[in-house]
Amino acid sequence: MRKVFVVGVGLTKIGRHFDKDLRSLFAEAALHAIDDAGGVKPQAVVVGNMLSSSLYQQDNLGALLADYIGLRGVAAFKVEAACGSGGFAVATGYSLVASRLYDVVLVGGVEKMCDYPTATVAAALAQAADAEYEVVYGASFPALNALAMKLYMETYGVSREEMAEWPVRMHEYASQNPYAQLRFRITLEDVLKAPMVAEPITLLDSAPIGDGAATLVLASEEVARKLSDTPVEIAGVGMGSDSVDTTTRFDLLDPLSVRLAAEEAYRRAKVEPKDIDLVEVHDAFTITGILSLEGLGFAKRGEAAKLVAEGAFAKGDKPEANLSGGLKARGHPVGATGIYQVAEITMQLRGEFPGVKASSPEVGLAQTTGGVLASTSVIILRR
Amino acid sequence: MRISPARIWRERGARYRLEAVRCRKCGHVYYPPKKVCPACRSREMEKVVLPPKGKLLAWSIEYTVPEGYRKYAPIVLGLVELQGGVRVLAPIVDVRPEELRKGMMVEAVLRRVYEDGDEGVIVYGIKFVPAEQD
């Protein structure tokens, strides 16, 4: 395996892009990334996307999008792992370059979620869960996470107020991120009094529905050194899975897929949790972010929520978590999210992130997950 | 969600009778069933029918429901631990949310769970209702 570098990034602001369709949104981010990489021509396109089939009546995204941005002829396909699709697309693109199959690969995530009413989008998102055993009963994705949140709070004696610190912080960060969807501050009381989605999860515990696209250009060391003096290296990649159903898990509060993916990524990057300066975790709901921090080894089991409530993982701590505003407030255009995370960490390591800047970033970690922590990827980046 | 008669028919064992599988090697029971045991990778799985009674471990009152489930909203989504320890996820019905208690006894019943439009197939499945303590 050879080294792989991020040589270009491109993002769109996340929001309700009623004036842009799937392909134009993708193109906006992709062309920006190609320009950022000095106009290099990718030899393959890997697309991270979850909902094009269910909400957009569109499959075959790889070829469609590659052709639209002038890359007719290249290898092109979509990677799907529900809300974790983007991270798995990065891992796939990484392996194409690391294995010497290609020297330059474009990894782009895109999602159009705002064209339909909430119930329609909720039905599409629920497809991340088990169709025959969960979704058929009308289980929504927030409700499945709500069960985990209740069990967590009961088991570890965590209060609702303690669980509300995270979204407040995410909104604070997002208010300074020009790419974020929810650029406003909220209070603890706002979280508690927000409309109930699936008790105890309120609207302000939940990532918003949004359109967005994010793109990376990955390249071999040889190409990367020609394009930049200080390219960011993908130092390690890890992936893991768990049952899609939550009922057959051996331990309902053990984020197994996160733990396994993290162990693999740390081993490959030859780092430990204490070496990570900044992290972007998959906080689709407050509880998802909390369990992810534990699975990544930044907190012991049952301690992450209390640590967050005491101020841990904020700007100035180590690691600094979700300076982008996270899925909660930066936004969560599901299949693009993992690529936003890697792009944001790359910008932080370059010292170019336009929002809240990391204090002294050398090593960063991005974690995305599909389903109720069922499919997880972890990407470690180094300056 | 589009539902075909064949799809419902295939799922009848698990959905109407709580059929699970037990690993002959390590004894783990799985609902939903697995082809190969996730704990010990044995392929020797046998069908078992789960007991209908159990206790409520956790629940969420789901207000924002997916398309097609509005008539059931709010859905009380329950995580139930059946006698013997196997967990099942299903709606809790015939009870007011404020009457729910952690650990309360519930029993599986067969109920209508979804209609595929006005003329499509009706899907039946397990829901739980409050039950007497054994």
Confidence band for A49, pLDDT divided at 50, 70 and 90: very high
- Rounded to the nearest 5 percent, the helix, strand and coil shares of chain B are 15, 40, 45
Confidence band for A228, pLDDT divided at 50, 70 and 90: confident
Asked if B48 and B67 touch (Cβ cutoff 8 Å), the reply is no
What topology does CATH give the domain A4-116+209-232?
A: Peroxisomal Thiolase; Chain A, domain 1 (3.40.47)
Active-site residue, A114 included: no
Q: Specify the pLDDT at position A357.
A: 98
**Any idea what DSSP says for residue B51?**
P
> Which residues, in sequence order, are CB contacts of A282 under 8 Å at separation 6+?
A83, A84, A288, A289, A292, A327, A337, A367, A368, A369, A376
- pLDDT mean over B3-7: 87
Residues of B whose CB is below 8 A from A246: 79, 89
* Contact check, Cβ <8 Å, B69/A143: no
- ipTM value: 0.95
Burial of A357 per CB tally in 10 Å (0-12, 13-18, 19+): middle
State chain A's mean pLDDT as an integer: 97
| Among A120, A139, A140, beta carbon nearest to B89 | A139
Q: Specify the pLDDT at position A273.
A: 98
Q: Specify the pLDDT at position B1.
A: 66
Mean pLDDT lowest among A226-230, B10-14, B29-33: A226-230
Confidence band for B120, pLDDT divided at 50, 70 and 90: confident
| Among B70, B79, B127, beta carbon nearest to A147 | B79
| End-to-end CA separation in angstroms for chain A | 19
Q: Specify the pLDDT at position A16.
A: 97
Which residue is closest to A116 within chain B, CA to CA? B67
Could you tell me what percent of chain B has a pLDDT over 90?
87
Q: Specify the pLDDT at position B17.
A: 93
Asked whether the predicted pLDDT for residue B3 surpasses 90, the reply is no
Q: Residue B39: give the domain boundaries.
A: 5-130
Asked whether the predicted pLDDT for residue B118 surpasses 90, the reply is no
Q: How many domains does chain B divide into?
A: 1
Q: Specify the pLDDT at position A22.
A: 97
* Comparison of pLDDT for B77 and B133, the residue scoring more: B77
* Contact check, Cβ <8 Å, A248/B88: no
Burial of A339 per CB tally in 10 Å (0-12, 13-18, 19+): buried
Interface with chain B: mutation pick from A53, A57, A133, A201, highest number of B CBs within 10 Å = A133
**Shortest Cα distance from A141 to chain B (angstroms)?**
9
Asked if A332 and A207 touch (Cβ cutoff 8 Å), the reply is yes
| Among A122, A196, A243, beta carbon nearest to B66 | A122
Parts of chain A belonging to CATH 3.40.47.10: 4-116+209-232, 141-206+235-382
What are the pLDDT digits (tens) for A335-371?
Answer: 999 999 999 999 999 999 999 999 999 999 999 999 9
What are the pLDDT digits (tens) for A268-303?
Answer: 999 999 999 999 999 999 999 999 999 999 999 999
What are the pLDDT digits (tens) for A248-266?
Answer: 999 999 999 999 999 999 9
| Among B59, B60, B66, beta carbon nearest to A123 | B66
Q: Specify the pLDDT at position B71.
A: 92
Confidence band for A180, pLDDT divided at 50, 70 and 90: very high
Asked if A137 and B89 touch (Cβ cutoff 8 Å), the reply is yes
What topology does CATH give the domain A141-206+235-382?
A: Peroxisomal Thiolase; Chain A, domain 1 (3.40.47)
* Contact check, Cβ <8 Å, A248/B114: no
Asked if A63 and A46 touch (Cβ cutoff 8 Å), the reply is no
Catalytic residue among A83, A114, A171, A282: A83
Residues of A whose CB is below 8 A from B11: 132
Q: Specify the pLDDT at position A4.
A: 98
Interface with chain B: mutation pick from A248, A254, A256, highest number of B CBs within 10 Å = A248
What are the pLDDT digits (tens) for A113-169?
Answer: 999 999 999 999 999 999 999 999 999 999 999 999 999 999 999 999 999 999 999
Active-site residue, A332 included: yes
Which residue is closest to A248 within chain B, CA to CA? B30
Interface with chain B: mutation pick from A137, A196, A260, A372, highest number of B CBs within 10 Å = A137
